[in-house]
A and B are shown apart, each in its own frame.
Chain A
Amino acid sequence: MRSIRTKIELLGGLALTWGCSTGVAPPIGEAREGPPQQGGVLRTAFFTDVRGLDAATAFDTAASAIESLVYDGLVTYDDEGKLVPQLAERIDISPDGKRYVFPLRRGVLFHDGAELTAADVKRSIQRALHVKTPCPVPSYYERIVGFATYHDGKTEDLAGVKLDGDYQITIELTEPDATFLHIMALPIVAPVCASAGKVWERSFASKPCGAGPFKVTRYENGQIIKLVRHDGYWEKGKPHLDGIEWFLSMQSFTQRFKFEQGDLDYIRELSEADSLLYRTSPAWRGRGAWEPSLTTGGTFMNTEMAPFDNRHVRRAVSYAIDREQLASVRPGHVSAHAKMVPNVLIAPEPGYPQQTFDYERALEEMRLAGYAYDPKTGQGGYPKEIAYLAILDSYAQTAAEIYQQQLAKIGLRLKIQVVGWPTFLAKTSRRKTAQMGFAGWHADFPDASTFFEPILATKSIQDEESQNAAFFSHKPLDDLLDRARRSTDEAERKSLYRQAEEIVVQEAPWATSYTYSYLELWQPYVHGYKPHPVLSQHLRNAWLDRAQKKLAAADCSRGHRLLDRLTCPRPRRAPTTLALARGFR
C-alpha cells in the first residue's frame, strides 16, 4: 500500500513540476557584441496559415511579412521609416508632382538568375493591375495615366508606365498623389520573375519569385514556408542568414514552449498569460520590444445586408460597444480605440470625432431602426440571429464573445462562426456573404489614407477579393478621400481625414474598438533585429550568433524527452511571480 502511495505522490509531484511550473525559461545564450556573422537558419511561426505569396494579390499581415523578404520594390523604408530608393538608384520627381522617374540599379538579379530591367518593372506593374488579377487595392494606382482603360481591359498597355531604355522607368500621373511613393513601396507592384507571366495565375502564389534577399524553396499550406538566401542578391554581404523557416498554424502556447527550447528564435504571438510572465520575469527584463501599433481593430457591418443596410442599426452597434471592457480582457496588448486612424499617425485632440459607448443612445438607435428593445423584459430587437465571423485562436475570437454579450443588451443576437484565416479572408471579401465580423487593418504605409481608401471607399468594392468588407459606399467620403490624396498640404490633409472620421462616426460601417500591440521576443543570439516603424517582422537584416545558439542544443533542461528533463539539474527558471503588473510595458 505504501509503495502505491509513494508512486502516486511521485507522479503527482512530477505532474506539478512538469505541467504547472509558473516561470518562464531564461534567455538562451548571451548577446555578445561583434560584427554580423553569416549563416544559420532563423525559425519563427505564425498562428495562422498563409494563403499565398503572389505579390500582386497577397495583402494580409501574415503574407506581407514574408513578401517583404522575397520581393524588393523600387522604393522601401529605411530603419527610421522614411522612404528611400531600393531597386531604384534614385527618384526624380517633376515639380508638378505628376511625373516620377526611377533609374534602376544595374546588376540586380531575380531568384531565377535573370537580370532586372525596366521591362520587368513594367510587366510586373501591368500584371498586378490587369483586369484578370484579383488585386485587393487596384484603386491605389488609379492616378497612373491610362489606368482606367487598362484596368477595364480596354487596352493592353498601361500608358502611364514608360520605358526609358533598359534601366530607367517613368511613371506619369493624372494628378499629384501624396501617397504615390508609399504605394510604390508595397509588394503589389514589386518586380516579379518572368515565370509569373504577364497575366495573373493562381499557381504563382505557391512558387513566388522576385528579387528580394530570400527565395522560397518550400511552401506547404498550414505547415511551413522555407526561405533560403538569394546568393545573387544585389546588396553585397546581405542577407546574413542562410535561411528563415516560418512554421504556420502554430498555436501561441506551442510557440512559447518551442521558443523556450530554442526551436524558435523569434516570436510575437504570445498568449495573455505568457506575455505577462515574460513581462514580469527579471531574466527577460529589458529584452524584446513592442511592435509599433499601426493597427485598428473592431467589427465591420456589411451595409448591403440586413440589418446593417439600416444606418441606425450600425450606429446602435457603435454606441453599444464598451471598448474599455474589450481592453480589460487582454491588458497590455489591447487598448480601447474609437477611430479609424491609429493615434500614432493622428493623435486625437479634444473634440476629435470618435465613436463612443452610450447605452441609452444605442437603445434609441435600435428604436429608430424599427427594432425597439426592452432590456427589462428582453423583448424586441432584431428578430433573427446575426452571423458573426471571427478568426480561430485569435483575439478576434475573444472580442467576438464580448461583442456578443454587449450587443445582446440592445437586442442583437450574434451567432459566432469561428473559421481559419484563409476562410475568413475569402468570406469577408466576397459580396453579400458575411453579415458582420472581425475588422482589423494594419497600415500598408504610415499615412492616414491607408485607413480609409482600401477599406471604406466605393472604388475598393469588388465582387471578390474586396478589402471593403462593409461594402460601404458613400459619395461625400469618396470625395473627401480624393481631395486628401491630391493635396500636398499636410494641414489640409489632416483636416480632410478628420472630416472622414466624422462620416465614419455618423454612418458606422465599422465599429472601431481597439488597437492591438504585439510583444516581440527574440533570443539574445539573434542580432540585427528591432521592430520596424512601418514593416511588420522585418527580419531581413537579422543575423545569428551561432555559437550562442548551440547552447540551446547543449542544455539538457530544454530537452523534449522526459528522461532528459528528469536526469538534468533543475533548470534555472525565473522566479515565479503572479504579480501581473498591469501597466508594465
Chain B
Amino acid sequence: MLDPRAFRRFQKNRGAVFGTGLVVVLVLFAVLGPLLAGHDPNLSDFTGGRAADGSIAGPSGRHLLGVDPLLRDSFSRLAHGARISLLVAFFATTISIVVGAAVGLASGYAEGTRGQSVDTFLMRAVDVGLSFPYLLLVMAIGAAVGETTIVTILMVLGLTSWFGTARIIRSKTIQVRHLDFIVASRALGQSTPAILLRHILPNVAGPLIVIASASVAQMIIAESVLSYLQVGLPPPTATWGRMLLEGQRFYTVAPRLVLAPGILIFLAVLGFNLLGEGLRDALDPHED
C-alpha cells in the first residue's frame, strides 16, 4: 500500500518502527498467550492460589505472574484480556472507519451540488454526535442496551466514534473532487459510485489509515474505561480495565495486579499511536 518513498520514510522513523514492534508483540501475545498460559482465565486455583503465609500467590512456576484476588491465573487473564481489547479495538475501528468514510465521501461529494441538502443533513448529524461527551454517550447506550456482550460493546464503540472521521474525509473529498482527473471521469460518464470508490477513495486512503491506527488506541482506552466502570463486559470476562479495577484494592500488598494491566494498556496505546504518527509522516508528501 505504501509507495517505496513512503516506505523508506517509515523505515527511517525510529518511533514508527518501535511502535510497529510493540503492535506486533501485542498481537502475538493476544494470539499465542492464551495457548501458552495453561490455565483457564476464569477458574480459581483453590489449591495452589495461596502462598504459605496465606497471601495470594505471587509469580511462580505454577503461575507465571501470580494469581488475582479470586485466585485466578494473572498471565492467562492478561492474555485473554489482550484478545478482547484487540478484538474490540480492531472491529470497532473498522465500523467507525467504514461509516465515517461513507458519510464523509457522500457529504463531500454532495457539497456545492444539487445534493447540497444531503451534505447539510449529514454534517448537522455529525455536529450533534460530536456535541455529546463521547464516553457518556457510550455508557448511556451501553446501559440502554442492557445486556452487554462483545458485539454490543464493539457496535456501541464503533457507531459512536465515526463523527470526526466523517469530517476529515469530507474536507479531503472536496479537495479531490475538483481535481482534473475527477472532472474527466465525470465527463466520460462514469457513475458517481464508481468515481467515489475508484478515484476518490484511494486518494483519501492515507488519512483514513492514519485515523484508523490512532482510533485503535482510542478504542483500547475506551474499552478499558468501560470495563473499569463496570459497564463493559460482565464478570468474569478478563479485560484489562476490569483487572485494573479488581487489582486496585490490592495495590498496597500486590502492586503487580495493577501494574500488569496498566503497563499493557500503556504499551498498546503507545504502540498504535507511534504507528499512526509514523504512517502520517510517511504518507505526507511534504516530507520529501
* A interface residues, Cβ below 8 angstroms from B: 19-22, 251-253, 271-274, 276-277, 325, 328-329, 331, 392, 397-398, 400-402, 404-405, 415-418, 578-582
- Contact B70 A398, beta carbon cutoff 8 Å: yes
- A397 and B245 alpha carbons, distance in the complex (Å): 13
- Contact A329 B71, beta carbon cutoff 8 Å: yes
- Contact A21 B44, beta carbon cutoff 8 Å: no
- Contact A252 B249, beta carbon cutoff 8 Å: yes
Q: A397-B235, A401-B235, A418-B230 are in contact. Are A274 and B53 (CB under 8 A)?
A: no
B152: CB under 8 A from chain A?
A: no
- A413 and B91 alpha carbons, distance in the complex (Å): 28
Q: In the complex, how many angstroms separate the beta carbon of A400 from the nearest chain B beta carbon?
A: 7
Q: In the complex, how many angstroms separate the beta carbon of B43 from the nearest chain A beta carbon?
A: 6
- Contact B234 A415, beta carbon cutoff 8 Å: yes
- Among B38-53, those with CB < 8 Å from A are 42-44, 46, 50, 53
B18: CB under 8 A from chain A?
A: no
- A276 and B55 alpha carbons, distance in the complex (Å): 9
Partner of A578, one of B44, B234, B249, B253: B253
- Contact B252 A21, beta carbon cutoff 8 Å: yes
Q: In the complex, how many angstroms separate the beta carbon of B258 from the nearest chain A beta carbon?
A: 8
Chain A residues closer than 8 Å to B218, beta-carbon distance: none
- A402 and B55 alpha carbons, distance in the complex (Å): 18
Q: A19-B255, A580-B53 are in contact. Are A405 and B230 (CB under 8 A)?
A: no
B29: CB under 8 A from chain A?
A: no
Residue on B with the closest CB to A251? B249
Across chains A and B, the number of contacting residue pairs, with CB separation under 8 Å, is 74
A-B residue pairs in contact (CB < 8 Å), sample of 23: A271-B249, A273-B69, A274-B249, A274-B252, A277-B252, A325-B44, A325-B46, A328-B46, A329-B44, A329-B69, A331-B54, A398-B70, A401-B42, A401-B235, A401-B236, A402-B70, A415-B234, A416-B235, A417-B234, A578-B53, A578-B55, A580-B253, A581-B54
Q: In the complex, how many angstroms separate the beta carbon of B38 from the nearest chain A beta carbon?
A: 18
Q: A329-B44, A578-B55 are in contact. Are A22 and B252 (CB under 8 A)?
A: yes
B254: CB under 8 A from chain A?
A: yes
Q: A405-B42, A578-B53, A580-B55 are in contact. Are A253 and B235 (CB under 8 A)?
A: no
Residue on A with the closest CB to B255? A20
- Contact B236 A404, beta carbon cutoff 8 Å: yes
Q: A273-B249, A331-B54 are in contact. Are A400 and B255 (CB under 8 A)?
A: no
Query: Which size class do B's interface residues fall under?
Result: 20 to 34
Chain A residues closer than 8 Å to B251, beta-carbon distance: 19-20
Q: A20-B252, A272-B250, A325-B44 are in contact. List 11 more A-B contacts (CB 8 A).
A: A252-B249, A253-B248, A271-B249, A277-B252, A400-B235, A404-B42, A405-B42, A578-B53, A580-B54, A580-B253, A581-B54
- Contact B252 A273, beta carbon cutoff 8 Å: yes
- A22 and B251 alpha carbons, distance in the complex (Å): 8
- Contact A272 B55, beta carbon cutoff 8 Å: no
Chain A residues closer than 8 Å to B248, beta-carbon distance: 253
Chain A residues closer than 8 Å to B254, beta-carbon distance: 273
Q: In the complex, how many angstroms separate the beta carbon of B118 from the nearest chain A beta carbon?
A: 42
| Contact digits for B231-260, partner A, Cβ 8 Å, 1 yes 0 no | 000111000000000001111111100000
Closest 6 CB pairs of A and B: A271-B249, A582-B54, A273-B250, A20-B255, A580-B55, A580-B54
Q: In the complex, how many angstroms separate the beta carbon of A267 from the nearest chain B beta carbon?
A: 14
Residue on A with the closest CB to B259? A20
- A543 and B255 alpha carbons, distance in the complex (Å): 37
Q: In the complex, how many angstroms separate the beta carbon of B174 from the nearest chain A beta carbon?
A: 44
- A402 and B252 alpha carbons, distance in the complex (Å): 24
Partner of B250, one of A271, A398, A417, A579: A271
- A273 and B251 alpha carbons, distance in the complex (Å): 8
- Contact B43 A405, beta carbon cutoff 8 Å: yes
Chain B residues closer than 8 Å to A328, beta-carbon distance: 46, 50, 71
- A325 and B49 alpha carbons, distance in the complex (Å): 11
Q: In the complex, how many angstroms separate the beta carbon of A268 from the nearest chain B beta carbon?
A: 15
Residue on A with the closest CB to B256? A20
Chain B residues closer than 8 Å to A402, beta-carbon distance: 44, 70
Chain A residues closer than 8 Å to B235, beta-carbon distance: 397, 400-401, 416, 418
- A273 and B265 alpha carbons, distance in the complex (Å): 24
Q: In the complex, how many angstroms separate the beta carbon of A579 from the nearest chain B beta carbon?
A: 5
Q: In the complex, how many angstroms separate the beta carbon of B47 from the nearest chain A beta carbon?
A: 10
Chain B residues closer than 8 Å to A21, beta-carbon distance: 252
- A271 and B43 alpha carbons, distance in the complex (Å): 22
- Contact A329 B54, beta carbon cutoff 8 Å: no
- A398 and B55 alpha carbons, distance in the complex (Å): 17
- Among B53, B230, B253, B255, the most chain A Cβ lie within 10 Å of the Cβ of B253
Chain B residues closer than 8 Å to A325, beta-carbon distance: 44, 46
Residue on A with the closest CB to B253? A273
- A400 and B236 alpha carbons, distance in the complex (Å): 9
Partner of B70, one of A273, A277, A329: A329
Chain A residues closer than 8 Å to B53, beta-carbon distance: 578-581
Chain B residues closer than 8 Å to A581, beta-carbon distance: 53-54
Residue on A with the closest CB to B252? A22
Residue on A with the closest CB to B257? A273
Q: In the complex, how many angstroms separate the beta carbon of A295 from the nearest chain B beta carbon?
A: 21
- A271 and B234 alpha carbons, distance in the complex (Å): 21
Q: In the complex, how many angstroms separate the beta carbon of A447 from the nearest chain B beta carbon?
A: 36
Residue on B with the closest CB to A270? B249
- A277 and B252 alpha carbons, distance in the complex (Å): 9
- Among B42, B71, B235, B250, the most chain A Cβ lie within 10 Å of the Cβ of B235
Residue on A with the closest CB to B248? A253
- Contact B236 A253, beta carbon cutoff 8 Å: no
- A58 and B53 alpha carbons, distance in the complex (Å): 43
- A85 and B248 alpha carbons, distance in the complex (Å): 47
- Contact B253 A277, beta carbon cutoff 8 Å: yes
- Among B42, B71, B249, B250, the most chain A Cβ lie within 10 Å of the Cβ of B249
- A580 and B53 alpha carbons, distance in the complex (Å): 6
